[in-house]
Amino acid sequence: MKIHSTVLGLVAAGCSLGLTLVPSAQATVSDDDFNALKDLVTKQGQKLDQLEKVHTQDQQAHEQDQQKISQLQQQLSQTQTLATNAVAKAEAASQIQPIYPAPNPAPRATHDFLVTGDAEVQYGKAAGGNGTFGLADFAPIFLFRANDNVLFEAGFDVTLENNVDGNGNPSGGSSTAVDLSFAQLDYFLNDYVTVVAGDMLLPLGTYSERAAGWLNKIPDDPLVRDYLPGSGIGAQLRGAIPIGSGAQLMTYSVYGVNGPSSTSLTNANAGNLDLEGNVGDTQNWHSNPSGGGRIGWFYPWGLHYDVELGVSGQTGQWSDYSGSYLWSAAVLDAAIHLSPYFEVKGEYVNTWQQTDNAGTLNPNGVWVQAGYKLAGLKKDFPVINNLELVGRYDYQNDNQGSIADRYTSGFVYYFSNTLLFEGDYEWYLVHGQNPNGYPPSLFVLQLSFGF
Amino acid sequence: MLNLMSLNINTPPTSAPVSRRFALVGGLAVAIIIIFFVLPGLLLASDTNTNAPAATARASEKKPVRQLSGAELYAIHCNRCHQERYPEEFNQDRWKSLIFHMQVRANLPAEQARIVLKYLQDQSGN
Instruction: Determine whether the interchain pair B7/A132 forms a contact, defined as Cβ–Cβ distance below 8 Å.
Output: yes
pLDDT over 80 (residue A329): yes
* Paired strand residues for A392: A369, A408
Reported in sequence order, the residue ranges of A415-440 that DSSP labels E, i.e. its strands, are 419-432
In this complex, which of A130, A307, A442 lies closest to B40 when CB atoms are compared? A307
Element (H, E) at A34: helix A31-96
pLDDT value of position A123: 96
pLDDT for A164 equals: 86
Contact A238, A194 (CB under 8 A): yes
Contact: B6, A162; criterion CB under 8 Å:
yes
Alpha-helical segments (H) within B80-126: 92-105, 110-124
DSSP code, position A191: S
Query: How many angstroms separate the CA atoms of A383 and A385, rounded?
Result: 5
Q: Which of A150, A158, A151 is nearest to A114 (CA)?
A: A151
- The model's confidence at residue A237, banded by pLDDT at 50, 70 and 90, is very high
* The pLDDT value given to residue B7: 45
Kindly state the average pLDDT of the residues B20-40. 52
DSSP state for residue B35 in the 8-state scheme: I
Average pLDDT over residues B65-86: 90
Q: Which residues of A touch B15 (CB under 8 A)?
A: 429-432
CA–CA separation, A197 and B64 (whole Å): 42
Query: What would the mean pLDDT of A229-237 be, rounded to a whole number?
Result: 96
Instruction: Supply the pLDDT for residue A135.
Output: 86
Nearest to B35 among A125, A336, A450 (CB): A336
- Supply the pLDDT for residue A212: 85
Instruction: State residue B45's pLDDT score.
Output: 45
Least confident of A78-82, A268-272, A367-371, B63-67: B63-67
Residue B17 is predicted with a pLDDT of 44
Chain B CB contacts of A309 under 8 Å are 35-36, 40
What pLDDT, on the 0 to 100 scale, is given for residue B56? Answer: 47
What lies within 8 Å, CB to CB, of A180 at 6+ separation is A154, A155, A156, A199
Give residue A104's pLDDT: 67
pLDDT surpassing 70 at residue A420: yes
Query: What does the pLDDT read at residue A315?
Result: 97
Mean pLDDT comparison of A96-105, A141-150, A318-327, B2-11, highest-scoring range: A141-150
Question: What average pLDDT does the segment A88-111 reach?
Answer: 69
> Is A242 close to B7, i.e. CB distance below 8 A?
no
- What's the whole-number mean pLDDT along residues A68-84? 90
Contacts of B109 in chain A (CB under 8 A): 191, 240-242, 249
Domain residue limits, chain A: 2-96, 112-450
The rounded mean pLDDT for chain A is: 89
Smallest CA–CA separation between B24 and chain A, in Å? 9
CA angle (A258 as vertex; A254, A260 as ends), nearest 5: 105
Interchain pair B43, A307: CB under 8 A: yes
Is residue A1's pLDDT more than 50? no
Q: Residue A244's pLDDT is what? A: 87
Long-range Cβ contact pairs of B29-36 (< 8 A, separation 24 or more): B31/A368, B32/A332, B32/A334, B32/A346, B32/A348, B32/A366, B35/A309, B35/A334, B35/A336, B35/A344, B35/A346, B36/A309, B36/A332, B36/A334
pLDDT band of A30, cuts 50, 70, 90: confident
Per-residue buried b or exposed e for A80-109, using 16+ beta carbons within 10 Å of the residue's own CB: eeeeeeeeeeeeeeeeeeeeeeeeeeeeee
Query: Residue A18 — pLDDT band, cuts 50, 70, 90?
Result: low
For the ranges A98-107, A224-233, A251-260, A397-406, the lowest mean pLDDT is seen at: A98-107
- Mean per-residue pLDDT, A214-235: 94
Return the number of other C-beta atoms located less than 10 Å from residue A262's C-beta. 24
Report the gap between the CA of A197 and the closest CA in chain B (Å): 12
Are the C-beta atoms of A125 and A131 separated by less than 8 Å? yes
Structural domain boundaries of chain B? Answer: 18-60, 70-124
Which chain A residue's Cα is nearest to B109? A240
Q: Tell me the β-bridge partners of A156.
A: A180
Domain A112-450 CATH (choose: 3.10.20.90, 3.40.630.30, 2.40.40.20, 2.40.160.10): 2.40.160.10
Nearest partner of A292 among A201, A177, A424, A220, judged by Cα: A201
Count A/B contacts: CB-CB distance under 8 Å. 202
Task: Find the DSSP H helices in chain B.
Answer: 18-33, 39-47, 53-60, 70-78, 92-105, 110-124
* Residue A438 pLDDT grade (very low, low, confident, very high; cuts 50, 70, 90): very high
Q: What is the pLDDT of residue A392?
A: 98
Q: What is the pLDDT of residues A170-216, one digit of tens each?
A: 889 999 999 999 999 999 999 999 999 999 999 999 999 998 888 98
* Max Cα-Cα span within chain B: 69
Tell which residue, A404, A406, A414, has the closest CA to residue A443: A406
Region of residue B105 (left: phi > 0; alpha: psi -120 to 50; beta: else): alpha
Say what the ipTM of the complex is.
0.75
Q: Which residues of A211-248 are buried (b: 16+ CB within 10 A; e: fewer)?
A: bbbbbbbbbbbbbbbebbbbbbbbebbbbbebeeebbb
Q: What is the mean pLDDT of residues B114-121?
A: 97
Answer for the pair A209, A255: CB distance below 8 angstroms, yes or no. Answer: no
Q: Do residue B7 and residue A134 have CB atoms under 8 angstroms apart?
A: yes
* Residues of chain B contacting residue A431, judged by C-beta atoms under 8 Å apart: 15-16, 18, 21
- C-alpha to C-alpha distances, A208 to A71, A222, A228, A321, A371, nearest whole angstrom: 79, 11, 10, 30, 19
Q: What's the pLDDT tens digit per position in A317-328?
A: 999 888 889 999
Straight-line distance from the first to the last Cα atom of chain B, in angstroms, rounded to the nearest whole number: 38
Candidates A417, A420, A421, A433: best to mutate against B (most CBs of B within 10 A) is A417
Write the residue in B10, B24, B100 that is nearest to A145 by C-beta: B100
3-state class percentages of chain A: helix first, strand second, coil last, to nearest 5: 25, 45, 30
β-pairing verdict for A364-373 and A360-361: unpaired
pLDDT of res. B64 = 61
Q: A28-42, A377-391, B29-43 — which is least confidently predicted? A: B29-43
CA distance A223 to A211: 14
Question: How much is the average pLDDT of A365-386?
Answer: 92
Cα nearest neighbour of B36 on chain A: A309
Instruction: Determine, for residues A126 and B82 on separate chains, whether the beta-carbon distance falls below 8 Å.
Output: no
Model confidence at B67, in pLDDT bands (50, 70, 90)? confident
Contacts of A124 in chain B (CB under 8 A): 2, 7
- The reply to whether residue B2 touches residue A124, judged by beta carbons under 8 angstroms, is yes
pLDDT for the residue numbered B16 = 41
Mapping DSSP to helix (H, G, I), strand (E, B) and coil, where does residue B50 land? Answer: coil
CB distance B40 to A297 below 8 Å: yes
What residue of B is the nearest CA neighbor of A348? B32
Alpha-carbon Rg of chain B, whole angstroms? Answer: 24
What's the mean per-residue pLDDT of chain B? 70
Residue A33 identity:
D
Q: Collect all residues of chain B within an 8 Å Cβ-Cβ radius of residue A414.
A: 83
Q: Say yes or no to pLDDT of A222 above 60.
A: yes
Residue A299 near residue A335, CB atoms below 8 Å: no
Greater confidence, A206 or B29?
A206
Determine the longest span between alpha carbons in chain A, in angstroms: 166
Which pLDDT belongs to residue B14?
37
Tell me: the pLDDT tens digits for A140-179?
A: 999 999 999 999 999 999 998 888 888 888 889 999 999 9
